[in-house]
């Protein structure tokens, strides 16, 4: 199992809550973000697995692939700032995936994720603005823009689901 840095939140929900409050990230915060992003890939894949609609499944899997790219981008950010190599762990070694459940795609969950992804962009923008390394800041801005596209994808899925529910 990947060893969480001292002081890091011990589970995914706490990690999300903690990161949302960070304005100037420490190396620990950036490491937590790397792990959260890697966990995001699995979470999107889990949602896709439970989904009958092939189009929706593809949208979820596309966002999941981006989350793993974000994890690797965060490893690059860490390396730029610390000059030490960082590796994204396998899913089986990611402490933030331990003991997770498999939630069903529902309107309330979609609403939550739509907001969380949009907040992700704001968070990356804030971190980039407070980052002394321009290359690292650019990497974070790129991930931030993709979080907003995830939010829009989820909105598209939500509109489809809401439409189905009102169709007689
Ligand atoms: Fe992400
Ligand atoms: Fe995302």
Task: Report CA(17)–ligand 1 centroid distance (Å).
Answer: 15
What distance in Å separates the CA atoms of residue 58 and residue 56, rounded to the nearest whole number? 5
* Nearest ligand (C-alpha, residue 19): 1
Q: What is the pLDDT of residues 82-116, one digit of tens each?
A: 999 999 999 999 999 998 888 889 999 999 999 99
Burial class (CB in 10 A: 0-12, 13-18, 19+), 38: buried
Q: What is the pLDDT of residues 44-75, one digit of tens each?
A: 999 999 899 999 999 999 999 999 999 999 99
Q: What is the mean pLDDT of the chain?
A: 95
What distance in Å separates the CA atoms of residue 132 and residue 166, rounded to the nearest whole number? 50
Task: Report CA(168)–ligand 1 centroid distance (Å).
Answer: 37
* Stated pTM of the model: 0.94
Give residue 166's pLDDT.
Answer: 57
Give residue 83's pLDDT.
Answer: 97
* Structural domains of the chain sorted by starting position, each given as residue range(s) with its CATH number in brackets: 12-166 (1.20.1260.10)
* Closest residue by Cα to residue 150 from 92, 85, 90, 70: 70
Task: Report CA(91)–ligand 2 centroid distance (Å).
Answer: 17
Task: Report CA(119)–ligand 2 centroid distance (Å).
Answer: 10
* Nearest ligand (C-alpha, residue 67): 1
| Region class of 25: left (phi > 0), else alpha (psi between -120 and 50), else beta | beta
What distance in Å separates the CA atoms of residue 17 and residue 124, rounded to the nearest whole number? 15
Task: Report CA(168)–ligand 2 centroid distance (Å).
Answer: 33
């Amino acid at each position: 199992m990947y060893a969480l840095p001292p002081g890091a939140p011990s589970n995914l929900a706490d990690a999300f809550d903690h990161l949302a409050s960070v304005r100037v990230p420490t190396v620990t915060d950036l490491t937590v973000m790397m792990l959260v992003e890697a966990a995001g890939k699995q979470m999107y894949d889990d949602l896709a697995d439970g989904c009958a609609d092939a189009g929706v499944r593809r949208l979820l899997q596309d966002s999941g692939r981006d989350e793993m790219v974000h994890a690797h981008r965060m490893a690059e950010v860490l390396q730029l700032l610390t000059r030490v190599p960082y590796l994204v762990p396998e899913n089986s070694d990611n402490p933030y995936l331990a003991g997770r459940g498999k939630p069903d795609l529902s309107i309330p969950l979609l609403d939550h994720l739509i907001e969380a992804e949009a907040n992700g962009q704001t968070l990356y923008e804030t971190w980039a603005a407070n980052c002394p390394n321009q290359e690292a800041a650019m990497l974070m801005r790129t991930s931030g823009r993709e979080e907003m596209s995830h939010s829009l994808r989820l909105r598209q899925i939500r509109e489809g689901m809401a439409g189905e529910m009102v169709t007689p």
